[in-house]
Amino acid sequence: MNLRQSAFRLSAVGAVATAAVVCFSTSAFAGIATSTTGATLYCNTYNDGNFQGHADCWLTDTQADGDSVYAVMQADGWGSRRYNWYGGNGTTGVFTDNFGSDVVDWDYHYKVCRDVSFGSDNCSDWVHISA
């Protein structure tokens, strides 16, 4: 998923929408950050009840190297999802990752990577939140 093509950008309207989501969340909230050389990721994760949850995330390119950045998300063994950001050094893509679970308690895993053009991608370790 290309964040730029999906028009995920922080604006007054986006901030109001994010605030509305926060106000209507029904359960656990957890925030966590991870980073690697050239990329950072911060997510606020919510357990919305009824076996549903979501994470509001900010993906930032922190290095002027011409490489894009991406986040990989996974909840309770469900398939991984990748969110790409091509905005360039010093820019941040904002996205929401929705997920479901077949259990009441869940583990939400994610990492951030720099998409190295010629070589192995540079990624953080997996981090997780349980709720």
What backbone torsions phi and psi does residue 14 show, to the nearest 5 degrees?
-60, -40
Q: For residue 103, what pLDDT is reported?
A: 58
pLDDT tens by residue, 14-66: 333 333 344 444 455 778 899 999 999 999 988 777 777 788 999 999 999 99
Q: Is the pLDDT of residue 123 over 90?
A: yes
String of DSSP letters for 4-31? TTTT----HHHHHHHHHHHHH--S-EEE
Interacting residues of 16 by C-beta distance below 8 A, sequence separation 6+: none
Q: What is the pLDDT of residue 52?
A: 78
Comparing 1-15, 22-36, 57-71, 92-106, the range with the smallest average pLDDT is 1-15
Closest CA to 96 of 47, 54, 129: 54
pLDDT reported for residue 19: 38
Exposed, middle or buried, 109 (CB in 10 Å: 0-12/13-18/19+)? Answer: middle
Confidence of residue 99 (pLDDT cuts 50, 70, 90): confident
Count of C-beta atoms within a 10 Å radius of residue 18? 15
Fold classification of 12-130 is Immunoglobulin-like (2.60.40)
pTM of this structure: 0.75
Q: How many CA atoms lie within 13 A of 47 on its CB side?
A: 20
Please give the backbone phi and psi of residue 16, each rounded to the nearest 5 degrees, phi first. -65, -40
pLDDT more than 90, % of the chain: 46
